[in-house]
Amino acid sequence: MFKATTIILALALPTVAAAAGFPTVETVRQVVGCMAQLGGQTEENLLTCACRQDVIEAELSFNVFEQGSLQERYNKMPGKRGGLFRDDDVSKDQLEQLEAVRKQADTMCPAVKRVAAPPRPAN
């Protein structure tokens, strides 16, 4: 049920920019992707990934985030097209900023694990 709710919610959200300058669709995309990396759509993963995205949005402008993400995706592309990304020092710097903020977010928002309460002793 959680997965269907998330997909419906993601489709229903408007694509206007959030207060921090990140489009809502991009925020949802990042949180859902993070949840998948952590093992699926659970309440614990949602809390962890929303926290991590909040850190990223607080520390980076959307422009730096977007350019760093593009550099991350395309800098391994072979040939001349890939060279446009491999040779772009500004994009490399933005990727380094993005990676540093992600590490900071991972530290500030560790993966949450549900812990069961210990059983009560018998009286």
Which residues, given as ranges, of the chain have pLDDT below 70? Answer: 1-20, 115
pLDDT score, position 68:
93
pLDDT score, position 79:
84
Residue 1 to residue 45: CA distance in whole angstroms: 15
Distance of CA 110 to the CA centre of its chain: 13
Residue 60 to residue 117: CA distance in whole angstroms: 39
Going by C-alpha positions, the residue among 99, 72, 96, 100 that lies closest to residue 86 is 72
The residues pairing with 17 across neighbouring beta strands, listed in sequence order, are 23
Residue 57 to residue 20: CA distance in whole angstroms: 6
